[in-house]
Amino acid sequence: MSFSTLLIANRGEIARRVIRGARAMGIRTVAVYVDADADAPFVADADQAIRLPESYLDGKAILEAAQATGAEAIHPGYGFLSENAAFAADVTAAGLSWVGPSPKVIEQMGDKLAAKALAEKAEVPTLPGSENPKAGDEVGYPLLVKAAAGGGGKGMRIVEAPGDLEEAVAAARREAASGFGDDRVFLERYVARARHIEIQILGDAHGSVVHLGERECSIQRRHQKILEESPSPRVDPALRETMGEAALRLAQVLGYESAGTVEFLLDDETGEYFFLEVNTRLQVEHPVTEAVTGIDLVREQLRIAAGEPLGYDQSKIQFEGAAIEARLYAEDPGNDFLPATGTLIAFEPAPSPEVRWDSGVAKGSVIGVDFDPMLAKVIAHGPTREEAAGRLALALERTHLGGVITNRDFLAATLRNAEFLGGDTTTDFIERVAPPRILEVSDAEAEHLAQLAALWIRGVNHRSARVLGQTPAGWRNSRMPDQEIVFAWRDGELRVSYRTLRDGRILFSDGRHARIHSWDEEGLDAEIDGRRHHARISRAEARLVVQGTRGDVEFEIRPRFKLPGAEETAGGFVAKMPGKVIDLRVEAGQRVSAGETLVVLEAMKMEHPMSASEDGVVTEVRVEVGEQVESGTLLLVFEPDE
């Protein structure tokens, strides 16, 4: 290798992934971090770590960190500066190796309009569209408004009718300017029954370029991927060869070096495919390609950046089995997948079945509003697609996870869904198939888990008792009322009452008997009416996370005596997520109609409009533009019409 120390200009799971890959090659690593990430696992993983004074977008500070630590190369990961041509040029101008394609290629592909023109030059099919954001009638409806410098679903809007175009363009411009510093947008034909297919490419500095097959990334919310797989259930060998050749033609026109992805939209009904964009970086979903080809993409990136040839051609690429990746996010599927915040009370990946976890968090990690809310990528590889899906679903279900609302249960339900297993995975999957968005727990199962939680708390109380701590739990020298604990559960509560019998068993008020086989601070092994369950349990003050057979449930211990507190405001219009108020369209006393947008929040660089559900009057406005609010903050007081 031409370098022995690598700086990773990124954070979270991708920083950990690059550190792991570099270390396997004998390369020392340097991490950079901001104050919000001071305790993040990736900081401790690296051989050295340098604090950035402001942000991961501070290219000057990152270059100074490289020079201070003797790093000879910079890997940008994905996001942040990974597709910033100016930063790539600054890296090479400083005499460092840039792990990625040339600044010229990044600049060409960073502009979607320029990329589309180059694709047409390479005879790659493209979607009909227009650079004129007012030419909706010319393109036809439905259509997409897209940011010219965009990606990741930001600056993108579906428009169903002419009357919605102006508002969609304005919102897309604002989002694009905020996310990319470029508010240009264009229009493109929208294909409702489509699949998102991407071809992984690798090119070296010696003129060799290969593709590593396709990934399907069709299951999305807000135009952002949450499940990816390779191979695609829709792509046969002939289509794979055709799309692969198209990707290679474009790569050759570009003179592409390093890892990259050529993205296509595949019309599920006609089989036509259309060029979307080229991502000039490592992709979030790269592990599924690694699983089916056996090729380590980070290793190949580092080899190419060091000037080494690929050493193989297309005929040497082999594919084995099927791989599926799930993106585990801190978000609320039951609330339109909006981002969630909080502290991870529990984060313990299942020891089996064996899957790959690429994660940037740990138990105790704080999930805030500063960065993308992805907690981990979980990847399963199996001889068949169905086996990979089952393995991934079970690994998610058996993971002990809680403290923050996540999409874990939705992912597991999707992976076990009949339409998914049948390969019917078009981009409208979530709306069309509607898998359960939260874990469906019966009353009986909730009561069973509440009883396990009560038994565990019984052990906690006994262990911490200062008086009679050595006396058997539940011992009494007179008749006493049953012990009772009340848990808040979703919109209601569960009341558990029990007493300890002379033979050591526990009798619940519903007549069930329990026996505790073992107990520790991380859970217990208990038998309730012949049903034995070893449950992992985590606690943070009054909150409990209890692991069930299909996932975790969370309870909150209700206080014995209810303390007076603030009453809820009737007609309160509250924030559904933490964010910043960027647009306030009403004032006190204003009459509004159902569906009218009242306030717009920005979270994770995306806009989230909040609309009136019925006709009425806004009686109070409690926030102002520019204000940062937490989830549950009262924004407006709204009085609906009688």
Give CA–CA dist 533/145, Å, rounded.
52
CATH number of 129-189: 3.30.450.20, 1.10.10.10, 3.30.160.270, 3.30.1490.20?
3.30.1490.20
Segments making up each domain of the chain, as ranges: 5-99, 106-127+195-320, 129-189, 328-440, 443-557, 572-640
CB-CB neighbours of 567 under 10 Å? 6
Task: Give the DSSP letter of residue 594.
Answer: T
- Which CATH architecture group holds 572-640? Beta Barrel (2.40)
- CA-based end-to-end distance of the chain: 74
Which distant-in-sequence residues (6+ apart) come within 8 Å of 481 by Cβ? none
Helices (H), 324-471: 385-397, 408-415, 418-421, 429-433, 443-464
Closest CA to 27 of 301, 268, 258, 260: 301
Domain boundaries 106-127+195-320, CATH class? alpha beta
Which distant-in-sequence residues (6+ apart) come within 8 Å of 599 by Cβ? 573, 581, 583, 584, 585, 586, 609, 610, 623, 635, 636
**Domain 106-127+195-320 identical in fold to domain 328-440:** yes
Closest CA to 406 of 489, 324, 347, 325: 347
Give CA–CA dist 174/179, Å, rounded.
9
Closest CA to 427 of 284, 282, 264, 275: 264
CATH numeric code, 328-440: 3.30.470.20
Query: Is the bond into 564 cis (omega within 30 degrees of 0)?
Result: no
Closest CA to 573 of 618, 637, 630, 628: 637
Domain boundaries 443-557, CATH class? alpha beta
What's residue 470's pLDDT?
A: 52
What's residue 367's pLDDT?
A: 92
Give CA–CA dist 441/189, Å, rounded.
42
pLDDT along the chain (642 residues), means of 10: 92 97 98 96 97 96 98 96 96 97 94 89 91 90 86 82 92 85 88 93 97 97 92 96 97 96 94 94 97 98 97 96 98 92 95 96 91 94 98 98 97 98 95 94 94 94 64 54 90 92 93 96 95 94 94 90 46 76 89 86 75 86 86 83 80
Amino acid at residue number 432 = R
List strand residue ranges (DSSP E) for 128-206, in order.
129-130, 143-151, 154-159, 185-189, 194-203
5-99 fold: Rossmann fold (3.40.50)
What's residue 566's pLDDT?
A: 38
pTM for this one?
A: 0.85
631 in Cβ contact with 575 (< 8 Å): yes
Give CA–CA dist 11/17, Å, rounded.
10
Closest CA to 188 of 138, 244, 246: 138
What is the strand order of the sheet 628-629 is part of?
606-611, 597-603, 579-584, 628-629
